[in-house]
Copies of this chain bind each other. A is one copy, B any other.
């Protein structure tokens, strides 16, 4: 890994563990095994590094989701594959969790990739559902509203699982929404 990559990866790890306010330039340098001069050679400072880290996390999340969205099967099977993909449920969503970081939310530059990622996920899910309606696989549902519902179940499932210290409520929430969707399968 290049020094630049190590700095970004270290920032991702620290943002996850300690949040924005708890992630100091010094800690990033120590974690990456890079000197101060090296860090400021590659990045103007913590905000630029955090932005690069958040963008990389967001890009990975999109690429993972796209594997299921454009995978084989009916629309409902692809939504099910997305929701039931192997996840570290108790760890939570690396992008969703940023919405609870007050420093990230307060900075329009840092919030943008979070906003864009969720907007993209909702749009792609709506496209998958609309394809299902066009192909006659699904009937009687609004793809746009339903896409937001599916995304909310996922993000809220993480919250319920963390509260319970168990993946059970996440799995129940996913089973429940897939059963509701199955009623609309032709």
Q: Chain A: residues with CB nearer than 8 A to chain B? A: 92, 95-97, 99-100, 105, 111, 114-115, 117-119, 122, 140-142, 144-160, 162-165, 169-170, 172-173, 175-177, 179-181, 183-184
**A159 adjacent to B152 (CB under 8 Å):** yes
**A155 adjacent to B159 (CB under 8 Å):** yes
Known: A145-B176, A176-B145, A180-B141. A160 touches B169 (CB 8 A): no
**B152 adjacent to A157 (CB under 8 Å):** yes
Known: A122-B169, A155-B159. A146 touches B99 (CB 8 A): no
Pick from A144, A150, A169 the residue with the most CB of B within 10 Å. A169
Q: Which residues of B contact A154 (CB under 8 A)?
A: 152, 156
Q: Which residues of B contact A162 (CB under 8 A)?
A: 99-100, 105
**B176 adjacent to A148 (CB under 8 Å):** yes
Closest to A151 in B: B160
Closest to A164 in B: B115
6 new A-B contacts at CB < 8 Å, known A146-B176, A180-B181: A105-B162, A118-B160, A119-B164, A149-B177, A151-B156, A155-B155
Name 12 A/B residue pairs within 8 A (Cβ), A-sorted. A96-B163, A100-B100, A114-B163, A117-B163, A118-B164, A141-B179, A145-B175, A147-B176, A149-B176, A151-B156, A152-B169, A155-B156
